[in-house]
């Protein structure tokens, strides 16, 4: 069963969004999805995800409003 967890880090100043997202990633089970709501594109997070083997897709919802769906590779 695929599960989805959502966290909202909009409005937090760097590095707080990364500090909130990172523990959620470490507890993400294979095949599960983490949805992140954020007010900017987090390029340092993308680099971490790339190096750590996560898959993600970013959706621009509106100006300075993004949803990132992150999946841990199985």
| Closest to 21 measured CA to CA, from 2, 51, 42 | 42
Count of domains forming the chain? 1
The boundaries of the domain holding residue 21 are 4-72
Going from the C-alpha of 36 to that of each of 1, 27, 29, 61, the distances in angstroms are 20, 15, 16, 12
Distance CA 35, CA 67 (A): 7
Spatial contact of 43 and 53, defined as CB atoms under 8 Å apart: no
Please write the tens of the pLDDT for every residue from 28-70. Answer: 988 899 999 999 999 999 999 999 989 999 999 998 999 999 9
What pairs with residue 17 in β-bridges? none
CATH value at residue 15: 3.30.110.40
| Closest to 41 measured CA to CA, from 12, 61, 19, 66 | 66
Please write the tens of the pLDDT for every residue from 5-15. Answer: 999 999 999 99
């Amino acid at each position: 069963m695929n599960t989805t967890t959502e966290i909202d880090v909009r409005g937090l100043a760097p590095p707080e969004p990364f500090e909130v997202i990172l523990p959620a990633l470490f507890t993400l089970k294979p095949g599960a999805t983490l949805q992140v709501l954020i007010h900017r594109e987090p390029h340092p997070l993308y680099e971490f995800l790339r190096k750590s083997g996560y898959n993600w897709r970013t959706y621009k919802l509106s100006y300075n409003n993004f949803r990132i769906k992150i999946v841990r590779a199985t």
